[in-house]
Amino acid sequence: MKELFREKDYTRVGYFQTILEAEGIPTFVRNKDTTTFMTEIPIPEFYPALCVMNDEDYEQAVQIIRDCVVKDSESSQMEVPCPKCQENNPGNFETCWSCGSDLVPATA
């Protein structure tokens, strides 16, 4: 088992775990339930840590996460106009923040 990364925010760790599991890479989250530790001082050793179960999957998992981060970053920087109200929305939105209509995804 190899650790990919750890972060205080479990939702981000869980998000990447879901992506890797969908790609067929078995994962494990260490320290999943220790984020509410009995101290107000953040201790990184207790942050949730995403690990791959099989060491041979490590490089592929790192690449999948890198690709995902780049894609998310690029799509959030683009703006998509709403086909109904013409309001601009971030490229990673699926529905318009103003009127709630479905957005047509931006093409890069």
Query: Which residues are registered as beta bridge partners of 102?
Result: 95
| H-only helix segments in 1-108 | 10-22, 58-77
Q: Which tens digits make up the pLDDT trace of 34-59? A: 655 555 667 788 889 999 999 999 99
Do 54 and 96 reside in the same domain of the chain? no
> Range of 48's domain?
2-77
Contacts of 11 (CB under 8 A, 6+ apart): none
Question: Which structure tokens are listed for 21?
Answer: 């599991």
Position 29 scores a pLDDT of 95
Question: What pLDDT band is residue 104 in, cutting at 50, 70 and 90?
Answer: confident
**Domain CATH for 63:** 3.30.70.790
Q: Do 46 and 71 fall into the same domain?
A: yes
58-99 per-position pLDDT tens digit: 999 999 999 888 877 665 577 889 999 999 988 778 899 899
Residues 33 and 70 in one domain: yes
61 and 83 assigned to the same domain? no
pTM value? 0.64
